[in-house]
Amino acid sequence: MTDTTLESLLRRDRSIVAAAIATLAAVAWIYILWLAASMDMGGMSMPETGMDATMPMDPGMDMDMDMHMGGEARTGPLDALLGISPRPWSPVEATFTLTMWVVMMIGMMLPSASPMILLYARVGRQSLRDGKPFASAGYFTAGYLIAWTGFALVATLGQWLIEGTLLTPALASANRVFSGVVLIVAGLYQWTPLKDACLTQCQAPIVFLQRHGGFRSDPGGAVRLGFRHGLYCVGCCWALMALLFVGGIMNVLWIAAIALFVLAEKLLPVGRLLSRLAGSVLMALGFWQLVAAVA
């Protein structure tokens, strides 16, 4: 019997889903690179702010220059942490920043979620061949990305709170105490039981499905299952994502390094060992930043 076009496509579903994931991640990375290039040398103006977000500072300007260069010389290392006074954002600027974070999370997290998404697609293909209704992997992926969109919203709020106080115009840490605290918190979290529990759920798709009732045949159930899986991934990686505030939200090399570590942590058999090793290094760097701040 000659295969129909649909059956031929279903046989190739793994390739189709993999290509879709790769395309979506590639588009996200292209957007990130474009933003980073736009910000290079003070070239990007934030929407409707009336000012250049990365405008070079005039050495003669008497406006918190020390804050942008470290924050310690004029006000002391703790003043910037205690004196946060966020500047109001326009709706366009807030939307722009949220979009930036959402796209960045898609580019960083989709590759590490691909084993689970491909597994879901494979089971869906088999169910359709058996004549059973089954929600496509797209619903599961949508639920997963909704969870990371929630994280992006929190990250956007965090950026708003500390922008211009604890961040340089290039959106990197402007305060050693702040850097040290973030590094230590991220390092400590790598050693916690919560980190281990969330990482286990992300490392083993089959285990995740067994613990949460298996695959869902209805679209709503698939979205909820994807959202739950996304929450575990947020629980696994939120502290690593917080490091973007240290190395630079638009530092492409820093973004790529974190994304590669997340991928290795989830896919390699030594993922837990990598977590603890990274945690130790992060804590050491954090204490070094604190010592340098008070020296």
Mapping DSSP onto H, E and C, the string for the chain reads CCCCHHHHHHHCHHHHHHHHHHHHHHHHHHHHHHHHHHHHHHCCECCCCCCECCCCCCCCCCCCHHHHCCCCCCCCCCHHHHCCCCCCCCHHHHHHHHHHHHHHHHHHHHHHHHHHHHHHHHHHHHHHHCCCCCCCHHHHHHHHHHHHHHHHHHHHHHHHHHECCCECCCCCECCHHHHHHHHHHHHHHCCCHHHHHHHHHHHCHHHHHHHCCCCCCCHHHHHHHHHHHHHHHHHHHHHHHHCHHHHCCCCHHHHHHHHHHHHHHHHCCCHHHHHHHHHHHHHHHHHHHHHHHHC
Q: What is the mean pLDDT of residues 129-151?
A: 84
pTM: 0.76
Highest-pLDDT range among 11-15, 150-154, 168-172, 271-275: 150-154
Best CA proximity match to 283, nearest among 179, 181, 183: 183
Helix axis angle for 252-267 and 271-294, nearest 10°, is 140
Highest-pLDDT range among 7-16, 78-87, 144-153, 213-222: 144-153
Taking the C-alpha atoms of residue 198 and residue 229, their distance in angstroms, rounded to an integer, is: 9
Q: Provide the pLDDT for residue 17.
A: 53
The answer to whether residue 44 scores a pLDDT higher than 70 is: no
Q: Provide the pLDDT for residue 257.
A: 87
Best CA proximity match to 136, nearest among 110, 162, 118: 118
The answer to whether residue 85 scores a pLDDT higher than 80 is: no
Q: Provide the pLDDT for residue 39.
A: 64
Q: Provide the pLDDT for residue 64.
A: 41
The answer to whether residue 215 scores a pLDDT higher than 60 is: yes
Best CA proximity match to 169, nearest among 49, 57, 89: 57
Task: Tell me the sheet residues that pair with 33.
Answer: none
* Lookup: tokens for 78: 């703790």
Q: What is the mean pLDDT of the chain?
A: 78
Q: What is the mean pLDDT of residues 9-36?
A: 63
Highest-pLDDT range among 40-49, 132-141, 158-167, 279-288: 279-288
Residue, of 178 and 22, whose pLDDT is higher: 178
The answer to whether residue 70 scores a pLDDT higher than 90 is: no
* Lookup: tokens for 37: 């290039």
Q: What is the mean pLDDT of residues 86-101?
A: 88
Highest-pLDDT range among 71-75, 116-120, 233-237, 260-264: 233-237
Highest-pLDDT range among 26-35, 108-117, 139-148, 206-215: 139-148
Q: How confident is the model at residue 52 (pLDDT cuts 50, 70, 90)?
A: very low
Task: Tell me the sheet residues that pair with 45.
Answer: 52
Q: How confident is the model at residue 30 (pLDDT cuts 50, 70, 90)?
A: confident
Best CA proximity match to 85, nearest among 169, 155, 165: 165
The answer to whether residue 58 scores a pLDDT higher than 50 is: no
The answer to whether residue 24 scores a pLDDT higher than 70 is: no
Radius of gyration of the chain (CA): 22
Task: Tell me the sheet residues that pair with 163.
Answer: 167
Q: Provide the pLDDT for residue 229.
A: 94
Q: What is the mean pLDDT of residues 168-196?
A: 93
Best CA proximity match to 229, nearest among 107, 115, 122: 115
Highest-pLDDT range among 56-60, 128-132, 169-173: 169-173
Residue 14: C-alpha distances to residues 63, 149, 233 (Å)? 56, 25, 22
Taking the C-alpha atoms of residue 161 and residue 72, their distance in angstroms, rounded to an integer, is: 19
Residue, of 266 and 34, whose pLDDT is higher: 266
Q: Provide the pLDDT for residue 123.
A: 77
